[in-house]
Structure 1
Amino acid sequence: MILSKRPDVERFLKDPAPDIRAVVIYGKDRGVVRDRADQLAKRLFARPDDPFDTAQLTESDVESHPGKLEEELSALSMMGGRRLVRLRLTGDKAGPDKATAEALTRHVDGQLNPEALFIVEAGALGRDSTLRKVGEKAGGCAVIPCYEDEAGDMARMARETLARDKVSLNGEALDLFVSRLPKERGVARMEIERLALFLGPGSGVNATAADLTEFLGVEPEASLGDAAIDAFGGRLGAAQAGLRRAAAEGEGGPAAVRAMGYHLGRLRRTLTLHKNGIDLTAAAKASGVFWKQEREFLRQARAWTLDLLLEIQGEILNADRACKTSGSPDQLISERLALMIAGRARRLGL
């Protein structure tokens, strides 16, 4: 059983079907994967970390101790009742993937302890993953793919987390805070908890955007927008460094490709307006260019042409599609795109 729609996932996590013996949760954002696994474990077990009722395994356990996984799935709870077995995989190695798939098959068929719940937390499982294929077809198994959180998901998490400490943000402050959150859920949650401490747990404050000035500080240097500007300006080293800093902050390859597409869109709009008789500086302002970036943007606008940008747009669309392919090296794809754009820019004299 595959659960890919958010309402279906939320219903399952709140009230999982009693005949489910295994759940495979996977995705690039390990914070989302961990959150959903924790939610399910807490829903079904009063003490999900109790060592007498729970076994926590890693990929290295599967590799170094063949049969260990099936032993844990066969064991009975020492205190009576249901047993929980949790396994964390990276999703990168075929050996543990296959071994887990074999153990899962035997478990859902009732050959091991039928009272045990098997939760697998994995990274991005490609279409060639044996575990993914087996889980999607097996009766008694739920498979939950996890995708990158959207702004609405982050806003909801921020409101709920802050509410537990009896603090909140008004609409403008919430929008500002969410726009500055890293995309990786685990890191974002730590930032939300840090904000709760900043506002004062239990204070009842409803903070405004102005109240967040000291907390947020200046925009991070690892801005994807800055990386895109560097790429179109022919500064490969700076662009690549910016992409890698952004990746460390949770901004993945797809977001990097979108940032380069957005910058190309502003250049195209500016050149189109200029072609129709509007002054280049006025055209840049009409395209939403930030005043601090205006000088560099105009330098690029004088070098690039609409025909060249049309060629680059095709490359960006190809990179965007490649990033969305399951299991793709999206960070490498975005860096190759930046390399290609910077190379073109250098040939233009930038």
Structure 2
Amino acid sequence: MILKSGQVASRFKSSDNSPWCALVFGDDDGVVNDLADQIAASWSKAAGNARQVVLDDDDIRREPHLLSDKVETGSLLGEIEIVRVRTSGEKIAKPVLDLIERADQMGNGFANRLLVLNGSLNKRSKLRATIEQSNTAATIQVYADTADSLKSLVEEKLSALDVQIEPDALDDFVSLLPGHRGLANQESEKLSLYGRGLGRPISVAEVRAVCRTDADDSVRDLANAALDGDAARCQAEYDRVIESGTSTISVLRILEMEIRRLMQARGLMGTGGDIGRRLRPPVWGSEWPAFRARLDLWTSASLTRLLAAIHDLEIQAKTSAAAADPALRLLLLNIVKSASARSAR
């Protein structure tokens, strides 16, 4: 079945008619994660007692029975498990679809629940198409945030902690947010913690002081130097970033943000108006020439391949921190080499 994100609260609240498996997919993994959290919370509330189990899709590829073992085996204490798997494309389509087929034949789900988180899937995807036709499982496609949805998200987070903010400060803060839900959540939480108990609305000056740091700027400069093919500047910024103690994950997320901004700009080419101001975060007039030169180096296909490489490295960084740093250096080197070769052409 196909569900919309707005149907999650009603369709996943009952243990009787709730889909036992949900495929959540979309371009922004932060939005995917947030909706998956919402589904897991609904399942847990309906069951009264549940715990989450996270599986690695590479482990499932090596041992396909691992997924079925976790999904089909119920707890002796009656507790359900929510099995959560982050994957990409069709990597684990077969073991997932085998479970879906058996559940549809039985007419109901298994002892446990299954959450599959994925990136962008087109309609030809076997995983997506099969689950859309299922009677016991559901697909939910999510979309990247707009300026209005980000503004609503920030207002909700601030309101939950009784934090006030000046209207101009709110607009300024939203304009600084990246078009990536995960990073937007981090920045919103940071601002919420700052404003809690402040006793007055947060000002524009405070927004900029709290949410823009030298470390953040260094990582953005590092990402842009790599995408420009500037090896010397990339190395200098990399040294600053490492010295500041910034994690590999933080570097990858800001690099992803810059790549997504380039992809968004490519999609807006030829539409007229000031494209830079329509991006998230905006590219102002003084920044546009460098951004436009960078944009000319990268095609949509090449940017998509970079995103896939970043996602693979992020998974590696979460499982093996020691291997993540050299892998990040290699990724940056390959980006610099590719940009340099494109510039020469």
Partner AA of 2:259 in structure 1: G
User: Which consecutive residues of structure 1, in runs of 5 or more, have no partner in the other structure?
Assistant: 270-287, 345-350
Partner AA of 1:168 in structure 2: Q
The answer on 1:103 being equivalent to 2:99 is yes
Match of 1:248 among 234, 247, 253: 253
CA distance in 2, matches of 1:56, 1:319: 35
Q: 1:220 corresponds to which residue? A: 217
Partner AA of 2:69 in structure 1: E
Shift in Å at residue 214 of structure 1?
Answer: 2.1
Q: TM-score, normalised by structure 2?
A: 0.64
**SS of 1:143's equivalent?**
strand
Q: 1:165-219 CA distances to partner (integer Å, 9 max, x unpaired)?
A: 21132221112112222333223212211112222x2344321212323213468
Q: 1:63 corresponds to which residue? A: 61
Map 1:189-204 to 2 at 5 A: 189-199=185-195, 201-204=196-199
Q: Is the 8 A contact 1:91 1:123 kept in 2?
A: yes
Q: 1:179 corresponds to which residue? A: 175
Q: 1:245-299 CA distances to partner (integer Å, 9 max, x unpaired)?
A: 9853141534124557989999x99xxxxxxxxxxxxxxxxxx843xx69xx6xx
Q: Is the 8 A contact 2:20 2:109 kept in 1?
A: no
**SS of 1:24's equivalent?**
strand
Q: TM-score, normalised by structure 1?
A: 0.64
Q: Is the 8 A contact 1:25 1:143 kept in 2?
A: yes
**SS of 1:76's equivalent?**
coil
How many residue pairs are counted as aligned between the two chains?
296
Q: Which has the higher helix share?
A: 2
Q: 1:283 corresponds to which residue? A: none
The answer on 1:25 being equivalent to 2:16 is no
Alpha carbons of structure 1 residues 49 and 31: separation in structure 2 relative to 1, 3 Å: farther
Decide which moves more: 69-78 or 254-263.
Answer: 254-263
Match of 1:206 among 185, 201, 206: 201
RMSD across aligned C-alpha pairs, in angstroms?
4.9
User: Which consecutive residues of structure 2, in runs of 5 or more, have no partner in the other structure?
Assistant: 238-247, 276-283, 312-330
**SS of 1:45's equivalent?**
helix
Alpha carbons of structure 1 residues 198 and 146: separation in structure 2 relative to 1, 3 Å: same
CA distance in 2, matches of 1:33, 1:91: 12
Q: 2:153 corresponds to which residue? A: 157
**SS of 2:257's equivalent?**
coil
Q: 1:72 corresponds to which residue? A: 70
Alpha carbons of structure 1 residues 164 and 63: separation in structure 2 relative to 1, 3 Å: same
> Percent same amino acid at aligned positions?
22
Q: 2:39 corresponds to which residue? A: 40
CA distance in 1, matches of 2:179, 2:235: 19
